[in-house]
Structures are given as structure tokens and as C-alpha cells.
Structure 1
Amino acid sequence: METMLKQLIRGKALFFIIVLGIGGSLQNGFHVTVISSPSPYIQDFINRSWFERYEEPLPNRTVTFIWSSIVGLYGVGGLIGSMCVKYFAGRFGRKGAMMWNDAISIVSALIMFSSKSLNSFEMVILARFSYGFAAGLGLFVHMMYLGESSPTKLRGMVTLTSATFFAIGKLSGQLAGLKEFLGHESLWNVLLSLPGILAFIQLVALLFIPEAPRYLLIDKDNKEMCQKALQTLWGVGEYKVEMEEMMLEQVAIKGQPSKSVVGLMRDHLVRWQLLTIMVITFSIQFSGVSAISSFSYSVLMEAGIPSDKIRYVTLGLGISEVMTSIVCGFLIEDLGRRSLLWKGFGVMSVLMALVGLTQLLKGNGYWIPYCTVGLIFLFIIFCGGPTGVMPPFSHEIFVQTYRPAAFVFSGILRWLGFFIMGMIFPFLLASLKSFSFLLFASVCLLGALFVFFLVPETKGKTLLEISEEFNKIHIYRPSLSKDVVLETRL
């Protein structure tokens, strides 16, 4: 660990990680939580804006619909933004894509800030959509940029920082929305414009950061610029091992154009990688963590926590998520990706089942709701394994020609899962009550079993070696037997 920390401060690596974080996944996390606090003020603004134009109030159902559009279009923008990762990252490079993303965030912030003075709720809708686009694009370019700039032995820890900054962003949104800070009716447009400041800081700071070394060598065939970028980020050195690994990958994929999403889905060489991404992404999205993050108030109210204590419990959950992500960053290179995935899902399954049980028994004692909260805290802590591993894992299992399309594919799954969960969870909670948590437990268990039996370890391996590990997975039906045989080397 000490050696890793020394290497982070030898060059500009630590500065690079922080700069990418504040303009990348941190903004994504901020947007997820910050919209909750000013919601009554924005709904009043919608009604007042309409009344001043037409001198008649809006029906409550119409206000609710417009407010739902403001919340929901962020997800639509995120989905579209994630679909544009391949185009932006391929045309402008990883650094250029982040700079364009910053420009979109700054424009979005200006639109949001001006909406109040111009008395236009339509501008709030537009700003939320473009914020979502920037979040969807920036999150995956952030992960790609980190992974393509890291030495093999530090790749997991460095790429996992995107999950850490996402957790920090969620906590920042909760803190900034408190009445002690910017949670006032007069400041809601200022609160929702804060990401523009972070985007501007990153835009300026990126001028002092090199392009991703792997992109420079493999895509641009510029060995000198690649070595110079490695030295700038990680300190003086020849980096022969890293350069040789990149050149081997370059030779292996020579003549192969960058894959489209359709081409990626048709290619049998990466079918196991795609299936793995699908299973893990949906296992995370439907594990219950998205529901707890987005509907924490409803979940805690259902658990029996007094309403005046809920915001403090929510802040505690946010702090736990940040601390867990940091700890996972130091453990990932020792424990490995596969171990954190299947063990994390396994414990999460048990915890969700226990949450369902305490929900059934909550009327049998005043202390039971607090047991539920304790279990939710533990769930968030162990969830840090799968959610933290996903950024480095998604990067490692695809070689350069497949990676941009793979991130588009992963982004579509992530945002689609987020949208579905947001739509169905209120109905699940209302109809199934405590049994909804048993559904989450089942999803986590399936995720744990899939990873344990079929997913190889990627720790400390080159990207070509990882591809070979996935190619060794076969499911076939022998001609003389109806039994399905699994062959995998884990």
C-alpha cells in the first residue's frame, strides 16, 4: 500500500485523479441526491410561473407531471449521453471528450441559474436533460480515461476512484441541500447550478493533464507521446513493461476497426464479457441499492424511523458509502475483483432478507426499526464491493477496439436499470411491503452464484490475458449426453 501511495504522488497522478473525479462521476452522484431537497420550491415555482403568464393556477396533476418530467428527463439525458461515449471518445480523445462534457455542464448550469429570473420552468426541464446528458457521457469517459492511464498493478485502485467520487457526489448533494447551507427557497437555482463551477474547474485543469497513454499508443500510434504521458502522470521512468503490454495489444488488434455497439453484440468473441456485464449491472441496479438511494425517505418511513430523524440517517448512509468506497480502493488489488463481487453479492442477499424480516416484525418492539437501519447500513457497506469493482472490471475485460462500444452498452444497461427501478419501486413498496426486499435478496443471490461459477479473476493480468480467460469459458451440449457441461478456469 505504501508503494502505491508513493507512486501516486511521484508525478501528477493524484492531481489527475482528483481533477477527473470532480468533473466526472462526482457530478453524477450530486445530481442523483440534490434534486430531492428543493422539490417543493421548484413545484411552487412551476405554479407561480404559469400563473404569472396566464393568470390561472395549474391543476395539481399537471404540476406533478411537470415535476416528474424534470426528474425523469435527467435519466433520459443520461441514457442518450452514455450512447454518445463512443463518438466523443473516438473523435476527440478521452481528454477532449471530457472538455466537451465540461462545456455542456457549464451551459446547463447557466440555463438552470437563469431560469428563475426569466420565470421559465421550461429552462429547468432543459437544464436537467442536458445535465443528464453530461452525466451519462462524463461518467463513462471518466472511467475509460482512468483505466487507459493506469499501470497494470494500480489499474484497479485508480479506476475504482470513479465510484469513490460518485459516493462523494451523492453525499455532497445531500449536504448542500440542507437548510443550514443552500436548502432555501431563494437559493434553489444556485444549488442546482453548482455543478457548473466544478465543470469549469476541471476544464481549466485538464489543460495541464496529458491524454490517456493507452489511447496515444494504440489509437494514435505515438510511442513518444505515450511514454511522455506516463512520465507526467506517474513520475520519471522508462515504463518498458507498460509499453510492451500496450504494443502487444496493438499488434493483436491491428487492422481491426473500432467496434460499433451492434458489432459488439454480434461478435461471439466477447459474448461472455457482455453477458457478465449484463448480469452484474442488473444485479447491482436491482439489488436494492438504487431504491435505497433514490427513495431513502420512503424506505426509512416504511421501516418506522421518525420523519425528523430520517435526514440524519440518510447523511450517515452517504458517509458510510464514501468510506466503504475508499477502503475498497485499497483492498481491490489484494482481494481481487472476483472475490469482492461474489462475496459482496452474497452478504447483500442475506442482509436484504433480514431487512424484509425486520420489516415484518417492526410492530413487535420499538428497537426493531433501528435494527432495520443497522442492516441497511451494513448493506450499503458491503454493496461497496460490487459497485466499486464495476468501473475497473468493465474496463479490464475488453481490449481497445471493443472498449468504447462496451461502455456505451454498459451505459445503456445502467441507465435503463435506473429508470426501471425508479418507475417500479414505489409500486413494489406499496403492494409488497417487506416482501419487496426478498426480491432484492434473490437478485443478489443470483449475481453471487453467477460470478462464483463463471467469472474469472482479472487482478494483475494484462488485458489480452483477461480476454483469453473469458475465451476459455464454454457451455456446450455433448452429442451423447443431455447434461450441460461447464468448463471454466477461475
Structure 2
Amino acid sequence: MQSENTAALLHNNESRTRPNMSGGGTTGALLYAVSAAVLGMLQFGFNTGVINAPRTFIENFIRDQYSATANVSLIFSIIVSIFAVGGMIGCPLASWLAEKLGRKKALFINAIIGVGGAVLMGFSQLAGSVEMLIIGRFIIGVNCGFATTASPTYVSEVAPLRLRGAFGTVNQLAVAFGMVGAQILGIDVILGSDEGWPWLLGLAILPSALQCLMLPFAPESPRFLLLAAHDEQKARIALTKIRGTSEINDEINDMHVEDHAAKQEEKFTISDLFRFSHLRKPLFIGIVMHLSQQLGGINAVLYYSQTIFVSAGLAEEVARSATIGVGSMLFIMALVSIPLIDRLGRRTLQLVGLGGMTVFSILMTVALFTKANSTMSIFAVIFTFLYVAFFGVGPSSIPWMILSELFNQGARSAAVSVGALVNWFANFVVGLTFIPMSDALGDYVFLPYTALLILFFIFTYFKLPETKNKTIEEVTALFK
């Protein structure tokens, strides 16, 4: 699910080994810049949650366009999962454009891409084209994959060091807020209908259109202007505006020091990560952490919770309302987990999260199996909420954090790129296979996820080192 805090976490981690940059506080220009950027993360959350409630109506649309022999469930699975294929393309595209054109211009281009995807989805029913819906969903996936890389990078670079962690969490909160908004809009009395679902999907135009209006007035990243564009005058102007003060010399100097230190480090490519054993080991750990986030089944719940609740015996109208609780639980746990990460440690929270998900995936299976009892239908919903809650404890954010803490600066960018690609690919696999698995396994559909969760828990227990309060040198030394 969420690649939302990669760059922010990267910079938080670097702060343990860099000089102290000048403080700075919250200003109107800073809040404006962050708001413009995190609209991309809200878009990601919205389009993750929006496809859940209108499944029945979209399937009706597919039947109307194709012959009676069409595999409607498979086509719907493609509509869901093509989003992740777009995400796999959007992530590296964001890294490339952000370095070539700057953070702000890259975000603006991505906003235009988002508008295009939303228009295609919104007009697909009017055009009578399922293909148009699939292409629109793919393009909005590119937009969201792009946002999960570019938005946290921009936010982390404009935020003052002492507030960088707090502003980094805004990305995760925006994702959860977008998801809840999509689920609320998908209920029957709003846009959950045969006539309303194109409007529901088309509302994705709003975050991107608002970004198009806001970004031209937002400052460029001072870090990009200084270190990539080599324009210190513009960097000073931008930083003065963001900080609300002309006393920025210390921060400018610290950027120069950090850049000089980075240039002294040996650079590693993606292929180097697989060639050298001291890099291969932490990479494998990071990859498994990303797989544990996705193959534990969380996106099966985020994409198909209404289907799960209907299978548990709830009426469709009630099930659509219950899906709101899924996004709400993620939002609450995003708030709860923020102070726990540095207090309890990454390894502990990952183990607690995976362990809780394992327990409640088993209980969800029991509830689905005994759904003839109306009480168990209620428990199926409760167990699903608790499953999502434990996901929010650790597996939601720690896989993105851990790669930035297992590698030094010379290898970190390549490692994070591999992690993002693995995450989006696993997202695609879950989105594509859940409905066929559900048809084949029925009430036992979560057992494969349970088995994988157990394996991920065992792997984490024996292989994942604790990185809390450790410097990069201390962590990397473990693998040499």
C-alpha cells in the first residue's frame, strides 16, 4: 500500500549523521507549499479506496458493453490492478523528471497527467468504453506512483530539519484522508449507484486540478536550486520565502557541507546491490519487508472490503457503509503509530503488526466460515478493522523506512528504487488475483495470506536488525 514517506524518511535518517541545519518554523509559505504537494498523496489514497464500493455497478457496465460470455470478474480485476502497473512506471518517472526539471515542475506535470486520467475514467460510461476506463485507471496509477516519490521528496526538502519528521507524516495522513473520502462518497445516497460511479471516479480530477492552480505559486525546493541547478541566488530567495526570515546562511552552508560529504561516498547502481554480499543481504531484507506489506493481503481489503463484507453476510448497502471504517482505521493508526516508531523501534512494531494481522486474518476466516450466524457477520467486520489496525501499527510505514536505514547514502537511492518497484508489483499481483482466489477458495480466501504472514513474521524475527538509535555506520557494519 503506501510508498508515501520514502524521501521524507530518507532525509530523517540522514539527519542523524549530518550537521544541524538552522531551525526555522512554520510559515504561511511553507504550509502552502506542503499543501500543494500532498494533494498528490491525497490522490493516491482516493484512488486506492475509490474502486471498492462501485464494483457491482462497474461490473454491470462491463456486462452492458460485452457479450454474456465475458469474464466480468477478470475484467474488473484488470481495472483494479492496472492502477499498480501505472504506479510501477510513475515511480522511476518521478525520480528522473524531478532531477531534470526540478521538484515543482515535475509535480505540475504529474498534476496534468492526473487530470487526463480522471477525465478518461469520468467519461468512460458516456463513451460506452471499458477500454477508456482501463486506460484512465492506468494513467491515474502513473500519477499516483509519481506522487508517492515526488511529493515526499518535495515536502522533506522544503520543511525545516526539526519539523521534517512531522511534515513527513502529513503524506501518510493525506493518503488515509483521501481513502476515507472516497469510501464516504461511494455510499448509496451519494455516488454509489449505476449513474453515480463515473462521477465518483471522475472526482479524481479535483486534487490534480487544484494542484495545477496552486503549484505555479509554490516555491521550488531550495535544495534542488542549490545542489542540482547550482543557482544559489534563487535558492536563497526561495529559502527566505519559505522560512520567513533572511537568516538562512547556516542552512545554505549545511546544504553545501552535506553535498560535499555525499560526493565523497562511493556510488552504487542497482546491479551493484545484487553483486556485493554486504549490499545484497540488506536489500533482500528490504525486499521481504515490502513483500510483507503487500502479500499479507492488505490491498485485498482496501480494494475489495465491500466484497468481503458481503461474503460475510452483510447487505450491500451496509457493506458499503462498513468500508468507511477501513479507511478511518488507517487514518487513526497513522496518528497512533507516529510517536511509537522511535519509542518502541522498527523491528518491534513490524513484529507486532505482522503478528496481529496473522491472528485476525485467521479470525476473519473463521467468521466467514460461520457467517450463517448473524453475530459472526458483525465479528467479520470487527476482525477486518483490527487486521487493518495492526497493519497500521508497523507494516504500513516501516518497509519504506527500513531501506533508507539499512543503506548508506551511496547505495540508498538504488535500494529505495528497488523497494518501490517490488512494492508496486506485489500490489498489482494482489489486485489481479484476489477475485479469482476468492472464487476458487470461497470463505478460505485469506488462508494464503495467513500462511505468508507467518513466514514474514518468522523472517522478520530472525533477520531484521533493530535500527532505532543506530547510525548508518553501525547498521551497515552488521552486513560487512
TM-score norm. by structure 2 comes to 0.80
1:345 paired to 2:361: no
Q: Is the 8 A contact 1:261 1:405 kept in 2?
A: yes
Q: Does 1:141 align with 2:155?
A: no
Q: 1:70 to 1:426 in 2, by over 3 A?
A: closer
Match of 1:91 in 2: 100
CA contact (8 A) 1:303 1:372 kept: yes
Q: Distance in 2 between matches of 1:338 and 1:289?
A: 19
Identify which of 423, 437, 440 aligns with 2:449.
Answer: 440
Aligned to 1:18: 35
The sequence identity of aligned pairs, in percent, is: 29
Q: How does 1:74-473 map to 2 (within 5 A)?
A: 74-221=83-230, 229-236=238-245, 246-254=255-263, 260-266=269-275, 270-359=279-368, 366-386=374-394, 387-395=396-404, 397=406, 402=411, 404-432=413-441, 436-451=445-460, 454-456=463-465, 465-466=471-472, 468-473=473-478
Q: Using the alignment, how far apart are the partners of 1:402 and 1:389 within structure 2?
A: 19
Residues 122 and 151 (structure 1), Cα distance of their counterparts in 2 relative to 1, 3 Å cut: same
**Which residue type is aligned with residue 386 of structure 2?**
L
Unaligned 5+ runs, structure 2:
1-22
Q: Distance in 2 between matches of 1:230 and 1:452?
A: 44
Relative to structure 1, the CA distance from residue 260 to residue 87 in structure 2 (aligned partners, 3 Å threshold; closer, same or farther) is farther
User: CA contact under 8 A between 1:147 and 1:395: conserved in structure 2?
Assistant: no
When structure 1 is superposed on structure 2, of 194-203 and 237-246 the one drifting more is 237-246
**AA at the equivalent of 2:263:** K
SS in 2 for 1:58: coil
Q: CA RMSD of the aligned region, Å? A: 3.6
The 8 Å contact of residues 161 and 329 in structure 1, kept in 2 or not, is answered as no
Q: Which amino acid aligns with 2:304?
A: F
What is the CA–CA distance in structure 2 between the aligned matches of 1:119 and 1:184, rounded to whole Å?
17
Q: Which amino acid aligns with 1:29?
A: G
Aligned 8 A contact 1:41 1:185 in 2: yes
Deviation track 1:345-390 (CA, whole Å, cap 9, x = no partner) reads 2333333334344455556x54333333222222212211221344
How far did 1:331 drift?
4.3
Report the equivalent of 1:35.
51
Which letter does structure 1 place at the counterpart of 2:321? Y
For residue 410 of structure 1, what is the amino acid of its counterpart?
Answer: G
Q: Distance in 2 between matches of 1:437 and 1:44?
A: 26
CA distance in 2, matches of 1:359, 1:41: 24
Which residue number corresponds to residue 474 of structure 1? 479
Determine the C-alpha separation between the residues in 1 that align with 2:412 and 2:103.
Answer: 12
Aligned AA for 1:372? Answer: A
SS at match of 2:263: coil
Alignment correspondent of 2:18: none
Cα separation, partners in 2 of 1:267 and 1:86, compared to 1, 3 Å: farther
Residues 45 and 176 of structure 2 are in contact (CA less than 8 Å); yes or no, is this contact kept in structure 1?
yes
Measured in 1, the distance between the counterparts of 2:52 and 2:443 equals 24
Aligned equivalents of 2:354, 2:378: Cα separation in 1:
23
* Structure 2 CA distance for aligned equivalents of residues 460 and 149 of structure 1: 25
Q: 1:59 to 1:375 in 2, by over 3 A?
A: closer
Instruction: Give 1:424 deviation, angstroms.
Output: 3.3
Q: Structure 1 residues 84-93 or 209-218, which shifts more?
A: 209-218
CA 1:382–1:113 in structure 2 vs 1: closer, same or farther (change >3 Å)?
A: closer
Q: Which has the higher contact order (CA 8 A, sep 6+)?
A: 2
**Deviation string, structure 1 residues 113-141 (Cα, Å, up to 9, x no partner):** 44444444433232222111111222222
Shift of 1:338: 4.0
CA shift in 2, pair 1:61/1:397, >3 Å: same
Question: Which structure 1 residue ranges, 5 or more long, are not aligned?
Answer: 1-5, 51-56, 476-490
**How many residue pairs are counted as aligned between the two chains?**
457
Shift of residue 446, structure 1, vs aligned partner: 4.3
Change (3 A) 1:64 1:443: closer
Per-residue deviation, 1:104: 0.8
What TM-score, normalized by structure 1, do the two folds share? 0.79
Structure 1 counterpart SS, 2:102: helix
Give distance in 2, aligned partners of 1:19 and 1:37.
28
Q: Distance in 1 between matches of 2:479 and 2:271?
A: 23
The Cα shift of 1:440 comes to 3.2
